[in-house]
Structure 1
Amino acid sequence: MNKIITLLITLLLISGCSPKINEHFEQNRYVKNFNVHLVNDSLQLYFKSPSDITYTRERKALKKVIRNVGFKLKDSVLVYGKTLDPPYEYFVTVSRNGQQEYPENLVVFDTLINNKTIQFVGNPLAENSKRTLEIDLNTIFKSLEVGESYRKEISTIMDIVQKHKNSNKFYAILNEIHEFPVYDKQEEWTKLQMALTFSSFLGKNEFYDTYLNQLESRFKPNDTISKKIIENSKTGNDVIETIIKEAEKHKIVMINENHYYSNHRLLVSDVLVKLKEIGYKYLALEALGIKQDSLLNLKNAYPTLESGFYTSEQNYSNLIRKAKELGYEFIAYENTDHTKNREIGQAENLYNKTFKIDPESKVLVLAGIDHILEKPTSRGKEWMATIFKNTYNIDPLTISQTHLNSYRNLIKSTYGIISSNFFNNERLSSVDYLVLNNNQTNVIQNLFTSFNYKNNREDNVQVALFYGNEIKNKYDYHKKVPYFTTILKSGKKQELPIDENQKTHLYTFDENGKLIDEQIITTNSNR
C-alpha cells in the first residue's frame, strides 16, 4: 500500500513539474508571407509577428524548450517563437487565472479577454537585445485579435504586390493598394511604402507627391546638421567631379538608394560615362533577380519585368539600358541562400563575381539604404560594406543618398555633396560622402522629339511607352518595362518623349489595368 501511495505522489510531482502546453497548441496555424500570422480558430485568436521569428510547432520540442527556459512559466503555453538577430524568445500563455508576475528582466504584455488572461512573455537572450524585444513584442501584442471578429483569412498589401510582380500596369496596382483596408500601424506603414513605390514607378504625379508628403511630414531637422550642410556642401559640377576624383583612388564605389526615391538612380546614371572612362567595368545591382545578370550580359539584351522588382521603374530600367550601351557588365549579388546572413551573402557574391576572377577590375555598386555602411552599428550589426571591407581588405568609396535625404531642400542645385568628416553621428560617419539629390529630370538617352497625346476620357489613365526594338509582337508589352510611363489626367495633354531613330509603342491603361488605346508612333506621327 505504501508503495502505491509513493508512486502516486511521485506521478503527481512529475505531472506538476512537467511543461504545461495549452490544449489548443496543435490548432495553431502559421501563415508566413512578409510577416508570420498566427491564427487559432479554436480560441478565435489572431496576431502577427516579424517574419524572422521561428516558431516551435511540435509538442515534444516545446516541452524541451519549457524545461530548459531559465524561469518558470506559470500558465499553459500556446505559442513559442525565437529569433537570432537580435537574439530573443517569447511565449504566449493562456489561462483563466489572473495576471502572473515575472522577473523584471523579462518583457511582459498581458490582457484579459472573455475571462481569459493572455500574456506575452519575452526573454532577451543577449544584453543588447532587450530594447528590440520590447519594441517587437509590443507590436506583436497590439496586433492581437480575440473573439468572433478575429481575422480568419490572411491577406496583406504584399499579396497584392506578389500578385502583380510581373505587371507593368502600375496605376492599376496603385489603385488596388489605395483601396486595401489596413488594421494597425504596421500595416499602415507597409501600405504607405508600397503606395510610394508604385506611384514612384509612374514618374511625376500628384499621388506620389501626396504619399511623399505623408512620409516626410514627420521629419524634424537637426539644426546642427543643417548648419554643417549649408556651410560645407559642394554643389553644381563639383558633385560629379568630387565623386570621379575619389573613385580614381578606389577599386569599388558603392552608392545607395532609397527604393521609393526613384531619382536616386539618376545620380548613378550621371556618373556612368566618367567612371567608364577611368576603368570601371562592372555595375553591381542589388535589385537584379537571380541569374538576371547573365541574361542582361547577352548581346542586345535589355531589362524586362523579370529582371527584378525595382528595375521595373523607368529610371532604373533606363540606367540599365545606358550602362548596357556603355559596355558595363552586370552583376547580381543579392543573397539567395536563406541559411546565410544576408550581409555576408551579399559581400561574398559581390567579391566572387568580380575581384576573385578579375583582381584588377573596378566595380560600381547600387545598393539599398544601409548596406553600404562601413562601420558596425552600436549593437554590433555589420552591413555588407563592413563585411566586404574587412573580409577582402578592399576599401570601398561609399556615397549615401539616403542619410541626409530629408535635408535635400537646403541646397538649390541638382546635387550637393558633403564629406562625412563633418559629422560625429554614428550613421552619418559610416560612409565617405553624403549626397543631397534634388534631380527631378527624366533624362532619356537619344530622345530628340516629342509626341502630343491627349487623354479624352473622363477618367485618369496610365500612358506607357516602349522602344520598338524591345517589342516583338502586338502582345509582347506584357513582359516589358516602359522607358517612360506616367498618369495622364482626364482632358489633359502631354508631350511624350519619342526616340526619333525607331518606332515607339504607346499603350494606355485605365485604373483597372484595362487596355484602352494602343498606337505605333514614328517621328512623322505629329505631322
Structure 2
Amino acid sequence: MIKISIDLPDLLSYNKLTRSKENKLKKEVKEITDIGNTDLFLSYQADKNTEINYFFDQIANPADTIVHEKLLGRDTISGVTTYIKQRGSKRVILMTKTKDKNNELKITNEALRRISLDTSNLSKLSYMNLYNFYTIAPHKNFLQGREKIRTAPITDPNKLMFKEALYITLNSFMSNNKEYDLLIKDYEKNKTNFKEVVGNALFSNEVKKDKEVYNTIDKLAKNNQILILNEDHFYPGHRLFAMTLLDILKRNNFKIISFETFVPNTENSPEVIPNSRNGFYIKDPYFGHFVRKASAMGFELLGHENYDRQLDREMGQAKNIMKILENDPQAKIFIYVGHGHLEEEGERRAMASYLKEYSKIDPVTINQETVTADVKHDLVLLPKAVFAQDSLMKSSADYFLINNLHASLESVYTDKVFKTIKLKNSAFESFKNQELLVEVFSMEEYSKTNNESVLIPIQSILMIPKKDEITVSLPLGRYYITVKSVDGALFKFNNFSIE
C-alpha cells in the first residue's frame, strides 16, 4: 500500500483519465523533471481555470527520511507550475495548470500543502466522512462510495464499528444489486427468529394479511391521533410501505408527517422536494418517492431530529414533536422513525415514551423492523398479543409488520406504462463485465436545478453494459440520466424522451 494521502478540497470535479491524456501529462512531467517512471494517480479541476495533477514516484535508495519540497519549474506563459514533495522512498510530483496568473504560486502551495507523505491524515479518515462525501454534491457516486468504504485503510475499532451499517445503507440505495442481496441475507441470519410464533399465528383472525393490513390501519388512523411507524434503514421496501399508507392517512385527516433526521426546505425555498439536503436517509430513491408523493398530496413535512447536544436525543425528539401539538392540539400526526424510537416501554426510554408522557396521548406504534419471515404474503400485521408469551420479543410496539414488499419502479408507478429503452455510448465497451450505476432523474425536477447531484433519482440501478449499450425499463416520460463507473467516469443523457 502507498501510504500517502491528499486532503481534497470540497468543490472539485475529477478529470477522466484516458490513456492519451495520461501519456500526455506524463510526457510533460518528464520534460520538466527528467523523471520518467511516474504514475498519474489523481487529476481534478479545482475550478474552471485550474487543473491539479498528482504523480507518484518510488525512490530506490533515499538519502534520508526528511520531508523535502522543491520547485522544479514555473512557466508563467502557460501557467504550469511543477513541485516535488518527497519523504524517504515516496515522492509526489505536483503539476498545476491555471489561467489565474495572479495566484499561480498560491494555488500551487495550497495543492502542495494537501499532500501527506505519512499516515497522519488517516486520523481524519472515517466511514462516516466517506459516506457523506460520496452521497452529496458535488462528489455523489454511490458505486464509488461503496468501493471506498470497502477498501478504506481504517483500523481504529471506534470507527470500524460503523463500517457494516454504512456499507449496507449505501448498497441499499442501488437496486439490481447482488451484493446488497447477500448482505441482507447475512444480516437477517443474525436477527431473532420468530418463525415458530409467526407460523402458529398466521391462521388467527387477529393476524391480518396483505389487503387486510391496510383495512386495519385505516381503522387505526380513523380512531387515533398519532401513528408511529418505524423502519430498518437497510430496507427500501419499508419506505415503499410507508408511501402506500399516504392515501389512508389523507382520508383520515392526517396533515403532518414528521421524520427522523429530516431537514425541511426553508420557507419559499426554490429547491425541489425531495433533495439531498433533506436528510441523512433521503438519498434512497424509495425514501425520495415517499417524500415526493407526500409533498404532492399536500402533507406538511417536518423533521423532529434533536440537535441540542445538551439534551438526550430521545427526549429532544419528543419535545420537537410536542411543538406541533402546542401549535395545534388536535393535529393528527404520522411519525416516521428508525428502529427503537417508537418504543413506549423499555429499560432505556425512547422518543415515543417521552411523547406519550408529555402529550398524554397513547400513540399507535407499528414495528416493521423486528420480525422478518419467509411467508407467501407480502404483508402480515401481527398484534403484540401474539408475542405475549415469547421472552425473545423485546419490543413494546402495538403491532408488528412482516414486510416482504419488493421495491421497484413498477410498485411506485402502478398506473404508468413502462417501456424498455437502450442507452448507447461507445465508451461503455471499455466496461466489459463491470457494474455501472445508472441514475434516472425526473426531467421536470432537473430543469428546475440543472444539478443532478442535489436531486433524488427516481431510480439508482446497477447494470452491466452489453457492448456499447445499457438496457433499462422506465415509465413513459422525459428524464435526465447519468451513468457512473466505480472510478468516477460519468456519462450524461439529457432530456431523454420515452414515448
TM-score (norm 2): 0.68
Residues 74-113 of structure 1 mapped to structure 2, 5 A cutoff:
none
Residues 287-302 of structure 1 mapped to structure 2, 5 A cutoff:
287-289=261-263, 292-294=264-266, 301-302=272-273
Which of 404, 407, 412 is equivalent to 1:444? Answer: 412
Q: Where does residue 447 of structure 2 map in the other structure?
A: 472
Residue 427 of structure 1: how far off its partner (Å): 5.1
One-letter code of the match for 2:174?
Answer: L
Greater Cα shift, 211-220 or 178-187: 178-187
Q: Where does residue 399 of structure 2 map in the other structure?
A: 433
Q: Where does residue 382 of structure 2 map in the other structure?
A: 418
One-letter code of the match for 1:466?
Answer: F
One-letter code of the match for 1:203?
Answer: S
1:482 aligns with 2:454: no
Q: Where does residue 125 of structure 1 map in the other structure?
A: none
Identity across aligned pairs (percent)? 22
Q: Where does residue 246 of structure 1 map in the other structure?
A: 220
Give deviations 1:395-428, integer Å, cap 9, x for gaps.
1110000111xx321x211111000022234855
Q: Which whole-Å CA distance do the structure 1 matches of 2:444 and 2:311 have between them?
A: 40
Q: Which whole-Å CA distance do the structure 1 matches of 2:492 and 2:226 have between them?
A: 45
User: Would you say how many aligned residue pairs link Structure 1 and Structure 2?
Assistant: 365
Q: Where does residue 316 of structure 2 map in the other structure?
A: 345
Residue 166 of structure 1: how far off its partner (Å): 1.3
Q: Where does residue 507 of structure 1 map in the other structure?
A: 482
Residue 498 of structure 1: how far off its partner (Å): 3.2
Q: Which whole-Å CA distance do the structure 2 matches of 1:248 and 1:179 have between them?
A: 50
Residue 189 of structure 1: how far off its partner (Å): 4.6
Give deviations 1:3-29, integer Å, cap 9, x for gaps.
xxxxxxxxxxxxxxxxxxxxxxxxxxx
One-letter code of the match for 2:398?
Answer: D
Residue 286 of structure 1: how far off its partner (Å): 0.8
One-letter code of the match for 1:306?
Answer: R
SS of 2:277's partner is coil
1:318 aligns with 2:282: no
Q: Where does residue 401 of structure 1 map in the other structure?
A: 368
Q: Which whole-Å CA distance do the structure 2 matches of 1:293 and 1:474 have between them?
A: 15
8 Å CA contact retained: 1:498, 1:504 = no
Q: Where does residue 160 of structure 1 map in the other structure?
A: 130
Residues 31-70 of structure 1 mapped to structure 2, 5 A cutoff:
none
Q: Where does residue 151 of structure 2 map in the other structure?
A: 179
Distance 1:512 1:303, change over 3 A: same
8 Å CA contact retained: 1:347, 1:387 = yes
Residue 258 of structure 1: how far off its partner (Å): 0.8
Which of 348, 352, 357 is equivalent to 1:390? Answer: 357
Residue 186 of structure 1: how far off its partner (Å): 6.4
SS of 1:311's partner is coil
SS of 2:257's partner is strand
SS of 1:471's partner is helix
8 Å CA contact retained: 2:387, 2:393 = no
Give deviations 1:125-165, integer Å, cap 9, x for gaps.
xxxxxxxxxxxxxxxxxxxxxxxx99973522122123234
Residue 449 of structure 1: how far off its partner (Å): 2.9
One-letter code of the match for 1:363?
Answer: I
Q: Where does residue 184 of structure 2 map in the other structure?
A: 212
Greater Cα shift, 161-170 or 193-202: 161-170
Residue 440 of structure 1: how far off its partner (Å): 0.4
SS of 1:413's partner is coil
Greater Cα shift, 490-499 or 238-247: 490-499
Which of 336, 344, 348 is equivalent to 1:374? Answer: 344
Q: Where does residue 495 of structure 1 map in the other structure?
A: 472
Residue 392 of structure 1: how far off its partner (Å): 1.0
Q: Which whole-Å CA distance do the structure 1 matches of 2:168 and 2:122 have between them?
A: 29
SS of 2:162's partner is helix
Q: Which whole-Å CA distance do the structure 1 matches of 2:232 and 2:470 have between them?
A: 31
8 Å CA contact retained: 1:169, 1:513 = yes
Distance 1:322 1:371, change over 3 A: same
8 Å CA contact retained: 1:303, 1:481 = yes
Distance 1:482 1:330, change over 3 A: same
SS of 1:356's partner is helix
Q: Which whole-Å CA distance do the structure 1 matches of 2:333 and 2:195 have between them?
A: 36
Residues 514-525 of structure 1 mapped to structure 2, 5 A cutoff:
514-524=489-499
Q: Which whole-Å CA distance do the structure 1 matches of 2:302 and 2:122 have between them?
A: 43
Q: Which whole-Å CA distance do the structure 2 matches of 1:398 and 1:293 have between them?
A: 27
SS of 1:260's partner is coil
Q: Where does residue 269 of structure 1 map in the other structure?
A: 243
Q: Which whole-Å CA distance do the structure 2 matches of 1:315 and 1:441 have between them?
A: 7
Q: Which whole-Å CA distance do the structure 2 matches of 1:473 and 1:208 have between them?
A: 33
Tell me how large the CA RMSD over aligned residues is.
2.7
1:169 aligns with 2:103: no
Q: Which whole-Å CA distance do the structure 1 matches of 2:492 and 2:446 have between them?
A: 16
Residues 18-33 of structure 1 mapped to structure 2, 5 A cutoff:
none
One-letter code of the match for 1:367?
Answer: V
TM-score (norm 1): 0.64
Q: Which whole-Å CA distance do the structure 1 matches of 2:458 and 2:175 have between them?
A: 11
Q: Which whole-Å CA distance do the structure 2 matches of 1:152 and 1:522 have between them?
A: 46
8 Å CA contact retained: 1:228, 1:422 = no
One-letter code of the match for 1:400?
Answer: N
Q: Which whole-Å CA distance do the structure 2 matches of 1:220 and 1:333 have between them?
A: 30
SS of 1:263's partner is helix
Residue 516 of structure 1: how far off its partner (Å): 2.5
Specify every segment of 5 or more residues in structure 1 that has no aligned partner in the other structure, as ranges.
Answer: 1-148
One-letter code of the match for 1:496?
Answer: S
Residue 471 of structure 1: how far off its partner (Å): 1.2
Q: Which whole-Å CA distance do the structure 2 matches of 1:275 and 1:207 have between them?
A: 35
8 Å CA contact retained: 2:221, 2:248 = no
